[in-house]
Structure 1
Amino acid sequence: MATLPMPDRDALSPDAQAVYDRMVATRGRIDGMYRTLLNHPALAAHVSELGTYFRFGPSVLPAQVRELVILWTGRKCGAAYEWVKHFPVARQAGIPESVLEEVRLGRRPTELSPVQSAALDAADAALAPASIPQATQDVLEAALTRQGLIEIVVLCGLYRLIAGVLFAFDVPLPEGATQPF
């Protein structure tokens, strides 16, 4: 197994402690993937900053669209950790249980709004990789602006990157979590 240490704050250099403190100030706590990335504090800071932009910052994506795309990407990548971390956030955002269950099972939900459906089409294209169909782009630009369309693609890339870190370094599920897939 290619595991890396998950350093505690006190084991970090002063610069890395500052990165840790910034992440905790935004997220409340950090575990798993971000603690693994703290083995490279500068990179952890940049990845965290992008995640913070989407989750807590000025992203134009509505929470339901953001969380649906994250769970869809996590499921497509087989990243149980992403699912475990974002399932409660998706519920809180108001995504129906039936939709969450379909995604968990790896099936495309049928109970989606046109924007949610287009968001999953764009996610599929980003993950393929393939070109986003013009009709999908038109729906998303009309509903979420061009910035929202771009954010969906970058969000997929971020969570694919996170999945890569999780798998490459055998990051375990958060304590008490069970394998969802």
Structure 2
Amino acid sequence: MRLTSPRIAPLADHEFDADQQEIVAPMMATGRVLNIFRTFVRAPKAAKGFLAWGNYVLSKRNDLPAREREIVILRIGFLCKSGYEWTQHTEIGLRSGLTAAEVAAIKVGADAPSWSPADAALLRASDELHHDQFITTPTWTALKAHFSDKQCMDVVFTAGQYTQVSMILNSFGVQLDPGQTLDPDLKGF
């Protein structure tokens, strides 16, 4: 984690105004409003727009299978040194079919020996988008060997969304939710 305390404090339940309450009501119905959303609702109009796009990226409208989507999200979160993002999506990735060994290998990247060619292409694309905001022709060709045009678009959409999320989390100082533990590789960033 880059900051040990929030720059923008998350709101407690009793602090939500009517607009904020409307945004978090579906989350409250499931029993938990995460710190990311408790922070975002300080800007309700931005939160609504963010949630609309974020819901696309995390939904079945995104044609990447959940496991592959999580490879992209976790690689971007790790490259952005976003402890909050990494922590949240490690849990989601494991539920989406990644193994603990694969999650650990995401930190290494495409050159870890365990990756299939499709997974390695996702990791290379994530690296290139992070470092140069562009997927090179060889990496695009590798992606196209395994994924449709729409899925390749969704790789870019997913990497872009989670770059933005990581920037927000890091800059606002969103802290882990109760019960979570920060990965030691992301301490001190």
* TM, length-normalised to structure 1: 0.87
Give 1:140's match in structure 2, choosing from 143, 155, 168: 143
Q: How many residues align?
A: 178
**CA RMSD, 1 decimal:** 2.1
Give matches, 1:1-181, under 5 Å: 3-24=7-28, 29-103=32-106, 106-108=107-109, 109-180=112-183, 181=185
SS across alignment from 1:5 = coil
Which of 42-51 and 14-23 deviates more?
14-23
Q: CA separation in 2, counterparts of 1:19 and 1:97? A: 33
Q: CA separation in 2, counterparts of 1:83 and 1:107? A: 14
* Contact 1:9 1:20 (8 Å CA) reproduced: no
Deviating beyond 3 angstroms after TM superposition, the runs of 4 or more aligned structure 1 residues are 22-25
Residue 164 and residue 145 in structure 1: after superposition, are their counterparts in 2 closer, same or farther (change >3 A)? same
Q: CA separation in 2, counterparts of 1:15 and 1:62? A: 33
Shift of residue 71, structure 1, vs aligned partner: 0.8
SS across alignment from 1:143 = coil
Identity of paired residues, percent?
26
Q: CA separation in 2, counterparts of 1:132 and 1:138? A: 10
Shift of residue 135, structure 1, vs aligned partner: 3.0
Higher relative contact order (CA closer than 8 Å, sequence separation 6+): 2
* Contact 2:6 2:175 (8 Å CA) reproduced: no
Q: CA separation in 2, counterparts of 1:102 and 1:119? A: 13
* Contact 2:57 2:157 (8 Å CA) reproduced: no
Which stretches in structure 2 are left out of the alignment for 5+ residues? Answer: none
Q: CA separation in 2, counterparts of 1:167 and 1:132? A: 25
Give 2:24's aligned amino acid.
Answer: Y
